Chain A
Amino acid sequence: MAGITRDEVLHVARLARLELSEDEVAKFQAQLSQILEAVSKVAELDLAGVPPTAHPLAIANAWDDDVPRPCLGLDEAFANAPDREDDYFRTPPA
């Protein structure tokens, strides 16, 4: 299972929206292979009948009263925007 191909690195980078340079592709292919080999150890255990844990506390839903509360104003919400047009975040076309 260990070892990740160059194509897989490019595929994963695309899924993760990372544009990698050629140098990065080579470096990460070697490092990710090493990391995947280390984490593949989880497959050694017999886990028959063991349920997954997604969250360490035994709590289910948390409920809150459905009442309006103050929230950020538009200027605050846009305070860190790289580009704004009126009440929208402006970006290059999709």
Chain B
Amino acid sequence: MTLDTLRLTAEEARRLLDAKEVSGAELWSAYADAIELRDPELHAYLHVCEDPGGDGLPLAVKDVIGTRGIPTTAGSKILEGYVPVYDATVVANAKRHGLRVLGKTNTDEFAMGSSTENSAYGPSRNPWDPSRVPGGSGGGSAAAVSGGLAPWALGSDTGGSIKQPAALCGHVGLRPTYGTVSRYGVVAFASSLDQVGPVAKTVRDCAFLYSIISGRDANDTTTVDVPAVQLPEGEELKGLRIGVPKEMNGAPGIEPGVTAAVNAALELAESLGASVEECSLPRSVDYGVACYYLVAPAEASANLARYDGARYGLRVDGDDFREMVMRTRDAGFGDEPKRRIMIGTYALSSGYYDAYYGTAQRVRTVIKREHDELFERFDVLASPTSPTVAFPIGAKIDDPVAMYMNDVLTIPSCMAGLPGLNIPCGLSDGLPVGLQLVGPQFGENTLFRAGHALERALAFDVVPERLRG
């Protein structure tokens, strides 16, 4: 049978396999063919794997996630040729469920960016319009799922790297609650923020993949026991209390077409029985980006100290150890990691620590408290995921601060450790708009329920218009 990988969900693929209507090899070939056809344009993958055999579903894996025997570069020249000798826990969990790693997807270097333009291996392109970015840092996983090059994928999210690309490419992505998914074997960026999460075409696929990868792991001491995942089924939203922070919808900098699509989705939510009420996150939105760009670079500067040319990765020789280390790091890191390492080092350095890092940690408390207060009155907070639709490649690459503002709506909940789900909710200028649903810590099941019912009612077609047959 002919498989349309652009439309095929993981759930439907599983059904076809179980019914013996398609074999594991046929399913793999369908994706391999799609990759051969469209990846030269989209550049979603940095590495494509051979079929390991079996009848498990294929899975694309962001290249910051370690895969045994499969190159893992984190989009950086400093890890070119690095082949992990063990699997990240999330990959081991996926394999235990029979999933087959289809390939490694492109990412901004060390997951630092909002467009994949910071990848040392060149940008990925948006399947809806290849002249535009797919978002980042997980733009490779997003382009793979949206472009029919994988049924689903793993991403990682520090300040929006799963949700923002899902918004820009028009599919579903979950940043789980901090502590629910192990980071063991994942290239570390900012450890108090990094989370691995699922990227898929539907909320149900997303929930199912989350159930596979989540859970306490003795190898990551930040993980905790996770409530059982409920696959969403309902079509109504009776009793659901949705808060809409006014600073995150219709505010300056948010495109009118984005606000319009989000407002239409909120009206639909009301018609499904939810209550929708305006609320406020006065300081979280205003101060979130500044707080994030102190905390995350500070942690990154420590995490990236390990790339010294001594034990793995690139080495550029020098006359002594220090010269070798400095040359290796200058040659191996691109501009964005260098900027963040230097900002973080500065913010942690003697004389500046209290003013920058210490202050940012207090602002983080303010952000967390503002969210906690809202969850006394609401089950879910709704807003656009990204203030804009996908922007042209090259539009923001020379202006780091403008690039950082892409994440103004995703960052606050990340700082508070909260789960966030993106679902596509409409088009603006022919490009997807994402709706962000944020829940309280461990509120994934509520997000799945709300996201699923809305997804059904919205009936958004996740196949990019130009690729529809």
Contact = CB atoms under 8 A, between A and B. Distances in A.
B20 to A, nearest CB: 38
Contacts of B218: 64
B391 interface: no
Contact of B82 (A4, A43, A80, A94): A80
Interface of A: 1, 4, 8-9, 12-13, 15-21, 24, 27-28, 31-32, 34-36, 38-45, 47, 50-57, 59, 62, 64, 72, 76-77, 79-83, 89, 91-94
Given A1-B355, A82-B315, A16 B341 contact: yes
A20 B317 contact: no
A2 B153 CA distance: 41
Given A40-B290, A53-B364, 15 more contacts: A1-B355, A12-B342, A18-B326, A18-B341, A32-B343, A34-B400, A36-B343, A38-B289, A39-B293, A42-B359, A43-B355, A59-B179, A79-B85, A82-B315, A92-B321
A57 to B, nearest CB: 5
Contacts of B441: 56-57
Interface stretch (B237-245, B306-314, B421-429): B306-314
Contact of B290 (A20, A39, A82, A89): A39
Q: Is the interface of B mostly helix, strand, loop or mixed?
A: helix
Interface string B307-349: 0111111110111111111110110010100110111011101
B290 A38 contact: yes
Q: Is the interface of A mostly helix, strand, loop or mixed?
A: loop
Nearest to B367: A53
A35 B400 contact: yes
Contacts of A9: 342
Q: How large is the interface on B (under 10, 10 to 19, 20 to 34, 35 or more residues)?
A: 35 or more
Contacts of B85: 72, 76-77, 79-80
Given A8-B346, A19-B329, A59-B224, A42 B82 contact: no
B293 A38 contact: yes
The 8 closest A-B pairs by CB, nearest first: A56-B417, A52-B361, A80-B312, A82-B315, A19-B326, A62-B221, A41-B290, A53-B364
Contact of A94 (B314, B321, B359, B417): B321
Contacts of B418: 56
Contacts of B317: 92
Contacts of B221: 62, 64
A89 B310 contact: yes
